[in-house]
Chains A and B, each alone.
Chain A
């Protein structure tokens, strides 16, 4: 048997959007390879999720279930993924490049001494060869990765890049329980609690729209302007390294080379000059807007749209106008 295998991450028995994107891309790839798509879920409940996976093209759905899998445990999840690989012998194994996928994929790849291309922005199958493109040097260059002969060829897919098809072709959707011989040692490292960040729960890496503040914020209190605009747009709050290093906002929000590398549909940089460090983290955003007092700021070179002006004056006007058109 061969085919494409996708790990679909769920938390609290909900499939995460990056997982749906990865399943959709897995379907496309399986079609290109003229093969089947299998989807692996790991967790404690996993009820009622099969329909959506089948609708997105899953031919086979494997469920590894057990109460201790409620929270992520790297070695137990890796053991389940290993079992799925041994069972199906897939040519390709995809995971979302989520926090969980980025943690799990290297464990599994090492177990099979397999090649893993991280955080890919495209994946293709041409002339019998699989190739994946991924940003390196934080997006300052794009690498095309080629795989050797070890199977499965593995890749994690960057969130927000691959589309969830609006009208997918459904798969066969056969559901099987995957029995995994778990041992105590598979739970050596395990999550004991998940604490939501106070305030916003929308993460910059997952959001479609990100509004970021930089050095011009001058202090933590002025981030309310960024939050105001982000809220009006239903987006997440980001920040430059300067703002994070100054202690105005938590590192979770940092966009850039030593923060998060993101590709939202819309990125609005407010009072961010556009140091190479920052550009590296957001240059693959689909539409970039810059608001900055300095007309010479490097961020304008990358911007699709920009306003040369004072953000404290401009943002309230933007918020009002957005509310009007959304009204």
Chain B
């Protein structure tokens, strides 16, 4: 079984956000870059499926600037077989439709049986690219998956659990299919030293818009259908009423304040 995994390099979730001088992006000077945590679940699931079958190939693909190669290398160290790095100024700054088109162009020639990715990338928080990828590849999808069973043989199907409000949906789809991973799907492994050494020799193929046949249609930021016009920090909060010492009095006072002042209970 051939499995493609779409990943993204994102700022570590502990990153303190500083707005860049352009007022539309973050200052990247003190950012630690990591593999998007949800994409790690996707990579882990791909590796588990390959290991369970004892055969197959796991290809990781990303769209991003030069630094993103490190994220691909991390996935190769976990055990993925090879990487595809789409790096082109005409694509890197694209909107979700542009990113999904580029990923689709990179993944389509692989003819994978299954495509995995994170349910969203932390930071941009768009929650769009995985599902859009399915649409562009004309494949079914199942998003926000916490459990995945992949059948074998011809006309193999997958059954997944998907989180919704206060319940879970059991979803079925035929292969090939795009699945987006939610926390709970698995516990991603850490790369072993052996894995890290092996990753250095694994191939990463670089592709630009021309190589993907997207020349002229890759629209970058200028042609984006949606873009960030302004980025700002949320307004600071002023100090609150903090109660202490006599707990009984504090509890009574808190309930009174919530009832009479804040009027929320």
The answer to whether residues A304 and B177 also contact, given A251-B183, A258-B183, A318-B255 and a CB cut-off of 8 A, is no
Q: Which of B141, B233, B241, B257 is A189 in contact with, Cβ under 8 Å?
A: B141
Within 8 A of B (CB), among A288-325: 288-289, 295, 300-310, 313-314, 317-318, 320-322, 325
A266 surroundings in chain B (CB, below 8 A): 258, 262, 264-265
Q: Which of A116, A141, A308, A309 is B26 in contact with, Cβ under 8 Å?
A: A141
B-side residues, CB < 8 A to A, are: 11, 13-17, 19, 26, 37-38, 95-97, 100, 122-132, 134-136, 140-144, 146, 162-174, 177, 182-184, 223-234, 237, 239-244, 247-248, 250-252, 254-259, 262, 264-265
Measured CB to CB, the nearest residue on chain A to B180 is: A103
Q: Which of A109, A135, A195, A302 is B125 in contact with, Cβ under 8 Å?
A: A135
Interface size on A, residues (CB 8 A): 101
A72 surroundings in chain B (CB, below 8 A): 169
> Which one of A38-46, A87-95, A201-209 contacts B?
A201-209
Q: Is A240 an interface residue (CB 8 A)?
A: no
Measured CB to CB, the nearest residue on chain A to B123 is: A137
CB atoms of A99 and B251 under 8 A apart: no
Interface of B is mostly: mixed
Measured CB to CB, the nearest residue on chain B to A256 is: B13
Q: Which of B97, B183, B248 is A114 in contact with, Cβ under 8 Å?
A: B97
Q: Which of A75, A114, A143 is B140 in contact with, Cβ under 8 Å?
A: A75
A310 surroundings in chain B (CB, below 8 A): 247
A-side residues, CB < 8 A to B, are: 16, 71-72, 74-75, 78, 98-100, 102-103, 105-107, 109-111, 113-119, 131, 134-150, 153, 188-197, 200-203, 205-206, 209, 233, 250-252, 254, 257-259, 261, 265-266, 276-277, 280, 283-284, 286-289, 295, 300-310, 313-314, 317-318, 320-322, 325-326
A131 surroundings in chain B (CB, below 8 A): 229
Instruction: With A137-B123, A138-B125 given, name 10 new contacts (CB 8 A).
Output: A74-B141, A75-B140, A106-B130, A188-B173, A251-B182, A283-B237, A300-B242, A305-B240, A317-B247, A320-B251
How far is A286 from B264 in the complex, measured between Cα atoms in Å? 9
CB atoms of B97 and A110 under 8 A apart: yes
